[in-house]
Homo-oligomer: A and B are copies of this chain.
Amino acid sequence: MAKMWRGIIEQYRDYLPVTSATPVVSLCEGNTPLVPARQLSAELGPQYEVFLKYEGLNPTGSFKDRGMTMAVSKAVEDGATAIMCASTGNTSASAAAYAASAGLECIVIIPQGNIALGKMAQALMHGAKVFAVDGNFDDALRIVREITNNYPITLVNSVNPFRLDGQKSGAYEICDALGDAPDFHFIPVGNAGNITAYWRGYVEYHKHGKAARRPRMMGFQAAGAAPIVRKQVVPKPETIATAIRIGNPASWKFAEDARDDSNGMIDMVTDAEIIEAYQFLARREGVFCEPASAASVAGLIKLMKSGFFKHEAPAPGSKVRIVCVLTGHGLKDPDNAIKHSAEVISVPASADAVLEHVALARR
C-alpha cells in the first residue's frame, strides 16, 4: 500500500498540529496536478515555465478541502457532534462533505435571497441542514458565532485556525513536485487566508531544508473588491469573481507580511481581465476553473503585458518557474461558463449543413 495517497494529513503529518490521537477525517484531498500551461509558457518565452496548480480536482471541487480535513479532524478530536458555517459557496460544500464522512451534523447559515440554488447543491446533497435567514451575510455569521459559542459545535469558517494549517499543504505539494519552490507563486486574494497559508507552507519547507528557496508571492484581488491594494475596507465589494468578493479580509495583515517578506506584490485585476483569463484557460490550455480562480492568471497576463518579466533573467541553463493557483473547478459555476461562451448552433440534420459553418480541407 506504499503508493496509496491518503490525504494531506497522512502525507504531511510532521508539519501539521495532529497527534496519533487525532482521528483523521479525510476524503483523500490534495495531490492535485500541476498542469503545464503550454500556451502561457510559449507566450512568455523559452526561459519560462508556467504551471497551473489545479485545485478544482480536490474532492469537493475546491482548495477548501485542504483546510476542512484539518478543521473536521480536530473537531472530532475535540468531541464536537456538529460543525457550522456561514457560506454560500465552496466552504459550505466542503464542510458538508467532511461532516458527512465523519458522521457529524453540518449546519449552514446563508442570507435569504440572491442565492442561486445550484450553488447550494453540494451542501444539500451531503445532508447539511441549510438555513436561509432573513438578513444579510453579517447576520448569518453572527448567528453562527452565537450558536458555536454556546453549544458543542465547531465553527469551521475561516476563523478556524486549523483551516490555514491544512492549506499549507498546497505549498508542500508544489515543492515536492518541482523539487524546489517556484520563482513566482500567483494566487487570487479574497479573504487572504490562502496566500497566508501558502507563504507559511513555503517558509516552513524552506526552514526544514525541503526547498532551497522561497517564491515571490504575487496576490491578485478583483478591482471591485481590492481593500488591500486600495488600503481601505471596501463596504460593498462587487466582482464577478464571487469567491473573492471580500471587502475586509480576515488575513489582511498576514497577506501584507507574505507580500513584503517574499519581495512580492498584491495588485488587482478588473472583471474584464478576469474573464479574459478565464476564457483563455478554458479555450487555450484546456483547463476550466471558477472565475475567481482566474484572477491568478489574469495577474500573470497583466504583468506579462506590462513588461514585468523582461527584468527576470533566469540563471544560465535554468528556467523561471511560475505557479498559478486555480482555486476551484469551473463546474462550480456553469452559468458563468455559458454566459461567456459561444452559443449552440441549430442546423438541419445533414453533414452539409454542419460543414457550412466549419472551414475544412477535404481528406
- Chain A residues near B (Cβ < 8 Å): 1-5, 27-28, 31, 33-35, 38, 54, 57-61, 81-82, 97-103, 105, 107, 109-110, 112, 115, 117-118, 120-122, 124-127, 129-135, 139-140, 143, 146-147, 149-153, 176-179, 279, 282-288, 329-332, 334-335, 337-338, 340-351, 353-355, 357-358, 360-363
Contact = CB atoms under 8 A, between A and B. Distances in A.
Contacts of A58: 57
B338 A118 contact: yes
Contact of A125 (B107, B140, B340): B340
Given A100-B285, A126-B288, A107 B354 contact: yes
A37 to B, nearest CB: 10
Contact of A151 (B27, B109, B287, B361): B361
Contacts of A329: 61, 331
24 contacts: A3-B176, A5-B33, A5-B177, A57-B57, A60-B288, A61-B329, A61-B331, A82-B360, A115-B344, A121-B331, A124-B343, A124-B344, A125-B283, A125-B340, A127-B283, A130-B342, A131-B347, A133-B348, A134-B348, A143-B354, A151-B361, A329-B331, A331-B331, A331-B332
B344 A133 contact: no
A338 B147 contact: no
A74 to B, nearest CB: 17
A361 to B, nearest CB: 7
A286 B25 CA distance: 10
B177 A282 contact: no
Ranked nearest first, the 5 interchain pairs of A and B with the lowest CB-CB distance are A101-B286, A28-B33, A135-B349, A124-B341, A121-B334
Contact of A351 (B82, B125, B146, B338): B146
B120 A344 contact: yes
A282 B125 contact: yes
From A115, A283, A288, residue with most partner B Cβ within 10 Å: A288
Contacts of A178: 1, 4
Nearest to A118: B334
Contacts of A33: 5, 27-28, 31, 59
B151 A349 contact: no
